[in-house]
Amino acid sequence: MITKYGYDVFFIILAVVVVGLLLSWHYVEWKPLRFALIAILFVFFLFTLNFFRDPERVTPQNDNYVISPADGTVVVVKEVFEDEFLKEPAVQISIFMSPLNVHVNRFPISGRVAYFKHIPGEYLVAYEEKSSLRNERTHIGVENARSKVFFKQIAGFVARRIVAPLVVGDSAVAGNRFGMIKFGSRVDLFVPSNVRVKVKVGDKTVAGETVVAVFS
């Protein structure tokens, strides 16, 4: 299944690959070069197909759970003061998404979108901590009657577009898709400090399935 957030790029690349294959087959006479070009185009298509895949996920049903918003590797778990949305001591959990990960993002809790902001910026390597403050990103806050969380979609060195078609007031359901970051990126999740964090640096997460924290 291909994510709807990537239809534009996927079908453009598909068209380019098909045209390239036809041109290589009909107009490149030297067979080693012809088959090399075909192989390169085929690998490029497989990479694109892999990147824009959007598998179904089974989300644990518990109102106290905070679900991972991204596939990837946990690169930061630390205590901070989050002064933009939570406005209280918090725990930051940062997940690095390589180009080989699924890049569709999912809501960590159910509720309503109470905060949304897009910030233009740079394209530093998303693995670096300073990318959280300097790269292009979106800031999203979700709250319900019991709790709230804050998270950032951060564009990386390769990523050049963040997709998050949200507005304040939208409904959020834990585990449901809300957007994606194209070609390598990072998601920073901030939860109140009274949660029990369930992941550590180096752990792998699966968006919509991995429980990263539990509210007391």
Give the Cβ contact number of residue 30 at 10 Å.
Answer: 8
Sheet holding 204-205, edge to edge: 171-172, 111-119, 137-143, 148-155, 185-192, 88-97, 72-82, 204-205
Only one residue has tokens 């079908």, namely 11
Give the Cβ contact number of residue 27 at 10 Å.
Answer: 8
Sheet holding 177-182, edge to edge: 104-106, 177-182, 161-163
Give the C-alpha separation, 76 to 20, whole Å: 42
End-to-end Cα separation, the chain, in angstroms? 36
Only one residue has tokens 């901590």, namely 129
Q: Which of 68, 185, 193, 216 is catalytic?
A: 185
In the residue annotation, 185 being an active-site residue is answered as: yes
Residues noted as catalytic: 185
